[in-house]
Amino acid sequence: QVQLVESGGGSVQAGGSLRLSCVARGRSFSSVAMAWFRQTPGKEREFVARFNWIGGLKYYTDSVKGRFTISRNNAMNTVFLQMGSLKPEDTAVYYCAARDRISQKPAIYNDSSSYDYWGQGTQVTVSV
């Protein structure tokens, strides 16, 4: 069983920063990509950022480019999302996701359907 455990959410004023962490625990697995998504009530889960293990490439949705940075710590099996210049529209539950190297799911990496494992989510609230 693979578990993704997020931490680091909270409440912050607009313009502030937060750092989210996602630790992979449980049985050993090889991930080809890890990503962050976010979701607000009544809306679909939205892609935020992803990190491709092969090549170390990073991708961001347009609304967070220049403000958010995704990074990893291989030794700790951890992915981070550094969020800066936060805006009220960044308020959401943020989810960590991992795609297994042997995944049978469609390889549409910016789509939530491509990921095999999910964390429980962590709330980020940005106030004006």
Residue 94, beta-bridge partner list: 38, 122
What one-letter code names the amino acid at 121?
Answer: G
- d(C-alpha 73, C-alpha 65), whole Å: 21
Please report the pLDDT score of residue 32 as a whole number.
87
Please report the pLDDT score of residue 35 as a whole number.
95
Count CB-CB contacts under 10 A for residue 57. Answer: 10
pLDDT above 90: residue 75: no
- d(C-alpha 110, C-alpha 61), whole Å: 9
What one-letter code names the amino acid at 58?
Answer: K
Interval 12-26: pLDDT, tens: 999 999 999 999 888
Residue 34, beta-bridge partner list: 51, 98
Please report the pLDDT score of residue 73 as a whole number.
84
